[in-house]
Amino acid sequence: MISETKVDDKKVVKFATTPPMSTYLVAFAVGQLEYIQGKTSGDCTVRLYTSPGKKNQGKFSLEVGIKALDWYSKWFGIDYPLPKCDLIAIPDFSMGAMENWGLVTYREVALLVDPTKSSTRQKISYRTCCRSRTCSFLKWWTDLWLKEGFASFMEYVFVGANYPDFKIWLHFVNDELASGFDLDALRSSHPIEIEIDNPNELDEIYDNITYAKSNSINRMLCNYLGEETFQKGLRIYLK
């Protein structure tokens, strides 16, 4: 936001021009909210918004979000291009999270951690927080598996590098590899890359083939090539 002007009984709000972005990643949030905030080493303001009375439950995710932005910027060799990154916990949000650029929306259970009731399993849910930093843009939905696979895999790379005590790669085998095998073994399964002719077909490919199988393929490639070579390839791809 760059200015607010009152005109009679209304308010005119002007926003700064954004970089070009996909229309499905544009978002606004309106409501009674409170927030906590911090800054990355690159001076990007990170805010975490919650319903009134819950902002203290967002401290851990805010810490992780700031660390993730700094770490991903260094790992990919690409600076985060916006001056701010907002995270918002939404009650009854139908999806786990949505990586809207600059305003990432989450289900409350995926973002908030009650410090009096926290557990390792709750904290592992911040992988969802990390994946929002790694999204890239599609030319068309046929390439969905590339975006989701890389984003999902990089969640684990970040957590493994920054929180080794969580032993996140053990969770990978249970949560990703096994679930990908389960769906891929069915006769009704589909290829990892499938031609999409119109948006109405999208629901058919938001499944564990697109997420878990592509995630597992990236892990296989990374292990085969070595992380350094895999990293160089991703940097070239994203630039």
Return the higher-pLDDT residue of 22 and 55: 55
Instruction: Give CA angle at 80 (57, 127), nearest 5°.
Output: 40
Q: Look up residue 152 and give its two tokens.
A: 């999902």
Query: Given this model, what pLDDT does residue 67 score?
Result: 92
Instruction: Please state, in angstroms and rounded to a whole number, the distance separating the CA atoms of residues 222 and 230.
Output: 5
148 annotated to bind ligand: yes
Most confidently modeled range among 37-46, 93-102, 117-126, 163-172: 37-46
Q: Is the dihedral of CA 207, 102, 9, 31 positive or negative?
A: positive
How many helices (H) does the chain have, and how many strands (E)? 9, 7
Give residue limits of the domains in the chain: 14-117, 141-238
Question: Which one-letter amino acid corresponds to residue 137?
Answer: F
Instruction: Please state, in angstroms and rounded to a whole number, the distance separating the CA atoms of residues 153 and 231.
Output: 12
Can you tell me whether residue 51 is helix, strand or coil?
coil
CATH architecture of 14-117: Orthogonal Bundle (1.10)
Q: Is there a contact between 120 and 110 (Cβ–Cβ < 8 Å)?
A: no
**Fold agreement between 14-117 and 141-238:** yes
Q: Look up residue 137 and give its two tokens.
A: 């843009």
Query: Given this model, what pLDDT does residue 237 score?
Result: 83
Give percent of the chain above pLDDT 90.
38
Q: Residue 238: count other Cβ atoms within 10 Å of its Cβ.
A: 12
Q: Specify the pTM.
A: 0.83
pLDDT tens digits, 45-87: 999 999 999 999 999 999 999 999 999 999 999 898 899 999 9
CATH architecture of 141-238: Orthogonal Bundle (1.10)
Which is it for strands 10-14 and 84-90: parallel, antiparallel or unpaired? unpaired
DSSP 8-state secondary structure symbol assigned to residue 77:
T
